[in-house]
Amino acid sequence: MDVSIIVPCRNEASNILPLLAGIRHAGAAFDSCEIIVVDDGSDDGMAEILAAGRAAFPALRVLRHPRSAGQSAAIHSGVLAARYPLICTLDGDGQNPPEEIPHLLAPFAKPGTADLGLVAGQRIGRKDTLARRLASRFANGLRARVLKDATRDTGCGLKAFRREAFLALPYFDHMHRYLPALFARDGWRIAHVDVSHRPRGGGRSHYSNLQRGLVGIRDLVGVAWLLQRRKRARPVELAPPAAESLPVLPATPSMQEAAE
């Protein structure tokens, strides 16, 4: 199994090196593994920390946005740059334990999973504040009722998916919160894995409940529209006919034969 592990992050200087050490350990389970950190316009010295730490992490690649473009943009940049067909994402704040990565990718190794497009992590025992947990529960419940995506927790950063399938999805800001619905829209099967959760090691969150709520309402309406307007026809390429079934055409005389 060849895997690209993508970490979108901004201003996580206090968390990034311990996280990379955990990812390196988890990545030893795969045939080939690269780590792509997408620095989304950090200004806390994380870029310098990453540059200094490159020697300790040979599989590490670093991409940088000159200014912050958001988590979905960071994930999209990482997937575009990825070398391998399977992608795993996790947040850069250290709250997604790297040891969960093999559990997310395990379903792709099972037989009969050609139609599996996405494995979504669902957090249990969340270590967030009560206000954030309540806001998340409300948002997830509303989204599930509107989109019917059968996913309890789309905000979890731990996800694994097929690179080619992801790049075929419609791209928009905040799309990372709607991946189960978008993959299902394109006909892919979705699986779910319960994952653990950790307290934030350092730094602070870049989003407030109000910011998430205001953006989420508009996005929810847009994704519901996308689901209704999906392309329903799926082309099927027909196999060429077998040689023995081709008609035998009469030979055409040459010009010399015709003249004689």
Asked if residue 20 belongs to a domain, the reply is: yes
Compute the distance between CA of residue 68 and CA of residue 39 in angstroms, rounded to an integer.
8
Give me the pLDDT at residue 217, please: 76
Asked if residue 241 belongs to a domain, the reply is: no
Asked if residue 253 belongs to a domain, the reply is: no
Asked if residue 251 belongs to a domain, the reply is: no
Asked if residue 255 belongs to a domain, the reply is: no
Nearest to 108 by CA among 85, 78, 90, 75: 85
Which CATH number does the domain housing residue 117 bear?
Answer: 3.90.550.10
Asked if residue 249 belongs to a domain, the reply is: no
In this prediction the pTM is 0.81
What are the pLDDT tens digits along the chain (260 aa)? 899 999 999 999 999 999 999 999 999 999 999 999 999 999 999 999 999 888 899 999 999 999 999 999 999 999 999 999 999 999 999 999 999 999 999 999 999 999 999 999 999 987 666 777 777 777 777 777 888 888 888 889 999 999 999 999 999 999 999 999 999 999 999 999 999 988 877 666 655 544 555 557 778 888 888 888 776 666 778 888 776 666 666 665 655 555 45
Q: Exposed e or buried b for every residue in 74-97, given b needs 16+ CB within 10 A?
A: bbbbbbeebebebbbbbbbbbbbb
Give me the pLDDT at residue 260, please: 53
Compute the distance between CA of residue 175 and CA of residue 210 in angstroms, rounded to an integer.
18
Contact between residue 105 and residue 113 where contact means Cβ atoms under 8 Å apart:
no
Name the phi and psi angles at 258, rounded to 5.
-65, -35
Name the phi and psi angles at 99, rounded to 5.
-65, -10
Compute the distance between CA of residue 223 and CA of residue 220 in angstroms, rounded to an integer.
5
Asked if residue 39 belongs to a domain, the reply is: yes
Q: Which domain holds residue 102?
A: 2-233
Give me the pLDDT at residue 171, please: 94
Give me the pLDDT at residue 80, please: 98
Nearest to 190 by CA among 108, 82, 90, 245: 108
Asked if residue 244 belongs to a domain, the reply is: no
Give me the pLDDT at residue 128, please: 66
Going across the sheet that includes 159-162, the strands are 60-65, 32-40, 2-9, 86-89, 159-162, 116-123, 189-195
Give me the pLDDT at residue 35, please: 97
Looking at the 3D structure of the chain, how many domains does it have? Answer: 1
Compute the distance between CA of residue 153 and CA of residue 164 in angstroms, rounded to an integer.
24
